[in-house]
Chains A and B, each alone.
Chain A
Amino acid sequence: MGRLEINNYKAIVIGGSAGSFPVVTDILANLPKGLNIPIILCLHRLKHIRHGFIEALNLKSKYPVQEPEDKERIHPGKIYLAPSNYHLYVELGYTFALSTDDMVNYSRPSIDLTFETASYVYKDKLIGIILSGANSDGAEGIKRIKERGGLTIVQDPKEASITAMPDAALKKTEIDLVLSTKEIINFLNR
């Protein structure tokens, strides 16, 4: 008991790339009432398009989605999206920090970096979720979450529209739960 209770965790990080947008939208539209932890989204996106994405996510999301500014405090019940062309770090003291450091796996934002820094801060109180995507970003990051005792979830490759990212995560680490979108939503609402 306990380990599978969302109340046991202090934050959720979600990583996704190609094919993850409808899944993320679905999850955000069906979040539980009274969500009292932050959700941090790191999704690969076109670097030169700063607008539109957040508006699209906000259309259906139950809670407001925002792009954090550097050094912004992380609040429970809010949803944060890594800004385009920056890496998003979780900083000691529960603030965000941004970086324009080199791309990792051809990605900025890099899911690995967001997951890794979040797990450093939240330790075993973190849930990491990897969704559909066409590369292996996130595999290293979710491994760190697992090593630090967090809960790891991967979208079922049978359902994911592009399986490279879930597959890479599953190959790298013994993932706790392999779930469909519906099951992820059920889990978060338990």
Chain B
Amino acid sequence: MSEEIDIKSIRNIVAAVKDTYNFDFGNYAITSFKRRIERVLSVFNCKNVDELIEKIKEDKIFFESFLKEITVNTTEMFRDPSFWRKLREDVLPLIATHQNIRIWHAACSSGEEVYSMAILLKEMDLLDRTQIIATDINQDVISIAKKGIYAIRNMELNQSNYERFAGKGMLSDYFSENDGFACMDRSLIANVNFRTHDLVLGSSFSKFDLILCRNVLIYFNMTLQDRVVELFSNSLFKNSFLAVGSKETIAWCKSIDKFSTFSIEEKIYQKIKE
């Protein structure tokens, strides 16, 4: 376990990042954020917080690496298979009545859920008329998502999730193996638009039938959760859907009156009011 740092030092780092790059981590959940900072100090061999702040201010490339380390990017394909089954059985059939389907993966990280969604849509014969926007704060993970190349050792877990999801074939139908890596089928992301976007800034850029933002709100405090859920509410058509992580809830957010709970078990909400 790395060195303990105090809350004041964290505030100093947040201030430096905000002043220099206009990213605001001030409303990130403090315990998680503190732990990430402690990790960053050890990953980049910084002797102390002051040295870290200097590096952040002076080196933009270093800052990009910092950004990648400070946000949690652990993700799986078909994490919570029952969630993906719910999408297949109850959510997507409702959305499929629309001529075109628009889906936003907010904070998509390295893209595993984007590929999961594309596979699900393909198996439902909906992929061709779906437009997916996948965004993340960090350019580096977006590049990974775009490439769709993952370590083969991670595919075992993804495959077992896919089996529990009861997909039509094998997960290996959707990637080719090359030198220890799984290269995802490029046709899956033909209609995916990857771009950087910071949820903290709260700007709505389009309207969607389904927004996935799973295990992201847990890294935000209530103030920021409120703001982000409002952003989602503004970015959804009436009667369309918001999915969050299985242990996340929007029940305590201000915009909750705009939503009804579509699946309490899988944390899928439906927007019912403008």
Which residues of A are interface residues toward B (Cβ below 8 A)? 48, 50, 67-71, 83, 85-86, 89-92, 97-102, 112-113, 116-117, 120, 140, 144
Contacts and interface: CB of A to CB of B under 8 A. Distances in A.
Interface stretch (B17-25, B142-150, B183-191, B216-224): B216-224
A116 B35 CA distance: 11
A91 B31 contact: yes
Nearest to A113: B35
Contacts of B32: 89, 97, 99, 101
Contacts of B1: 112, 116, 140, 144
B72 interface: yes
Contacts of B36: 101
A70 B79 CA distance: 18
Interface stretch (B45-53, B119-127, B241-249): B241-249
B109 to A, nearest CB: 10
B205 interface: no
A101 B217 CA distance: 13
A50 B248 contact: no
Interface string B248-268: 110010000000000000000
Given A48-B161, A117-B31, A100 B248 contact: no
A70 B216 CA distance: 11
Interface string B22-58: 0000000111100110000000000000000000000
Contacts of B79: 85
Contacts of B74: 100-102
Nearest to A83: B247
Contacts of A101: 32, 35-36, 72, 74
A69 B248 contact: yes
A69 B31 contact: no
Interface in B120-139: none
B248 A99 contact: no
B159 interface: no
B29 A50 contact: no
B164 A48 contact: yes
B31 A97 contact: yes
Given A89-B31, A89-B32, A98-B247, A70 B217 contact: yes
B80 interface: yes
A50 B30 CA distance: 27
Interface centre among A69, A89, A100, A144, by most B CB within 10 Å? A100
24 contacts: A48-B164, A50-B80, A68-B247, A70-B217, A70-B218, A70-B248, A70-B249, A71-B252, A83-B246, A85-B79, A90-B31, A91-B31, A92-B30, A97-B218, A98-B245, A98-B248, A99-B218, A100-B74, A100-B75, A101-B72, A112-B1, A113-B35, A117-B31, A120-B31
Contacts of B215: 98, 100
